[in-house]
A = this chain, B = another copy of it.
């Protein structure tokens, strides 16, 4: 291990890596490089890289940004496999820093780089801390199953110290920061193959290479190693300036939601989830249902947990007759509260056999899928008692057992976590942990649909298509539009309207004006015999508001029995995605939408499409809500797939695309695109 720029002052940042390697028992060779001293402690120093006695496996470079690239070049020339660059002042520091980072990359050649601007990595499994993180001042760390990759060095330290205090064991922690070379996905790949890691926790600022991330995340999923990710930037104004509504509805953060959902990554909503969820997932127990038993020796805390479980969609049913009888058989004088849930063993809380009996009875009961133990203040005097009782019962069941510690008693929580019983100090965290377990088991493998033969698209015009042209594009992929006629004057409009039944929709046809209804360019429910008159009025209104005199109009059949949806396309750094949303202004304000990223090749699968439909909060409207006719779900699913195939076929040519509204008619009657936008690259 070479430490380039090691300081003899072990308090300084440049002194810490050496100090920590020794403090935490690293027993390999250490080569500090420092021309000003001969030894640091008893370890001989080398004046420069050239004079190192052997080629190091890895080098930590503690020099500033001005000198780091020189050290990198020398190490690379020597044949060093990898270097960790701690200096800041690179891509995070403006244009000059970006140049410097490029210089660093060139200097490294084939040598792998972690950083720059990283706090390094900590291998707890093998006792190798390669880091300047102040968190390593702690004397001991529980070694365990959770691997961490963080794009922030400070957060790596926070997680390391918090996990240690909680008794949550970790395997490896890596801070990737600027990712000039090695990036998050590389370390996910590593942790998937790492036998000592069972769960992977990620702290993400931005995913720089989404395709590589997807591949790594799917590998983890296939290997049965859950990934939990906390992603910041949730509050950023994600909406970009766009003509379609899709642009306003699809923020950067919802794209991350889609990415995580499609790769089986569990999203941590609060920072604490990033430890709580992995601690539960590391038990590798399976939550098969949502019925949770709560065993308590204190009323209030049991209710607190029960309430938060209920809020999170879990059930806390009372024990059935058989379970209640098993509980009652434990002791004659048990109080009546045994046939409720939380099961209250106030008087028996400190009798180990009774506690074991109650845990066994609940864990074995067909009434429950998991057990939450409440640790009250009566356990504080003898925390071992509760831990022993739970541990004794663990082998007899494969159901999850987690604990909530009600009074301030971090030592009790630590003891439980160390013994692989996930223990939480906040009642809400029990629900969070169980939810993560539920998500893991509820995941289904991602289907990769085949690539669909695209219709001919060579003849499409460039730029903004008008509504009729957009509709033609959608129909090439099998998405039908409502009946319509293009007209140029009131008389033609009147004639056309009469063939469309009792009411029509009139619209201006223009590739210049996109939000037609905002400028008076749309009239809904017009009686056919008034169509001519309304067109005249519309001409005037639109001209007044926009200065543009519309010359063509659409006379459309009016759809009255369908449900309005929006189907759109959105692209950002993470990839191309399809957005499905309930339409109409109400749903628009309430943002009832869902998204799916497209695979690298081709469009979405039918299963994807059905999942999207069911994720809408207003899904019941499509499914026969309150005695209504069911909507044509099959046709909608097919339209989503077709739209995604269109997006995939057009590739980078497509700038924006949206069908809004897409009417879903009653079962068997299909869908109809009533309005749409498409913008193609010039």
Binding site for B on A (CB under 8 A): 93-94, 133-135, 137, 150, 152-155, 157-158, 161-162, 164-165, 203, 205, 232-236, 270-272, 298-301, 303-304, 306-311, 336, 376-378, 380, 406-410, 426-428, 502, 515, 517-519, 525, 527, 560, 582, 584-587, 589-590, 592, 617-618, 620-621, 625-628
Contacts and interface: CB of A to CB of B under 8 A. Distances in A.
B152 A272 contact: no
A406 B154 contact: yes
B407 A155 contact: no
Nearest to A313: B235
B586 A154 contact: no
Contact of A426 (B152, B271, B308, B519): B271
Contacts of A620: 589
A241 to B, nearest CB: 16
A-B pairs, top 7 by smallest CB distance, nearest first, are: A235-B310, A152-B300, A134-B377, A154-B300, A154-B298, A155-B300, A165-B408
A141 to B, nearest CB: 12
Contacts of A270: 426, 428
A135 B583 CA distance: 55
B518 A627 contact: yes
B300 A336 contact: no
A336 B93 CA distance: 8
Nearest to A407: B161
A133 B298 CA distance: 11
A299 B152 CA distance: 7
A518 B628 CA distance: 8
Contact of A518 (B377, B582, B589, B626): B626
A625 B589 contact: yes
Residue of A299, A584, A618 most packed against chain B (CB within 10 A): A299
Contacts of A380: 134, 137
B527 A377 contact: no
Contacts of A232: 303-304, 307
A233 B525 CA distance: 47
Contacts of A426: 270-272
Contacts of A427: 271
Contact of A157 (B377, B525, B590, B625): B377
A133 B377 contact: yes
A158 B427 CA distance: 12
Contacts of A306: 235
A298 to B, nearest CB: 4
30 contacts: A134-B378, A135-B377, A135-B407, A153-B300, A154-B300, A154-B376, A154-B377, A155-B301, A157-B406, A158-B301, A158-B377, A158-B406, A158-B408, A164-B408, A234-B311, A235-B310, A235-B311, A236-B310, A271-B426, A271-B428, A272-B426, A410-B410, A519-B627, A585-B618, A585-B625, A586-B586, A586-B618, A586-B621, A589-B617, A589-B618
A162 B407 contact: yes
Contacts of A236: 310
Contacts of A515: 626
Contacts of A408: 158, 161-162, 164-165
A27 B271 CA distance: 46
Contacts of A154: 298-301, 376-377, 406
Contacts of A502: 527
Contacts of A584: 586
A232 to B, nearest CB: 4
Given A271-B426, A502-B527, A589-B621, 6 more contacts: A134-B380, A155-B300, A205-B303, A518-B627, A585-B621, A590-B590
B586 A235 contact: no
Nearest to A92: B299
Contacts of A627: 517-519
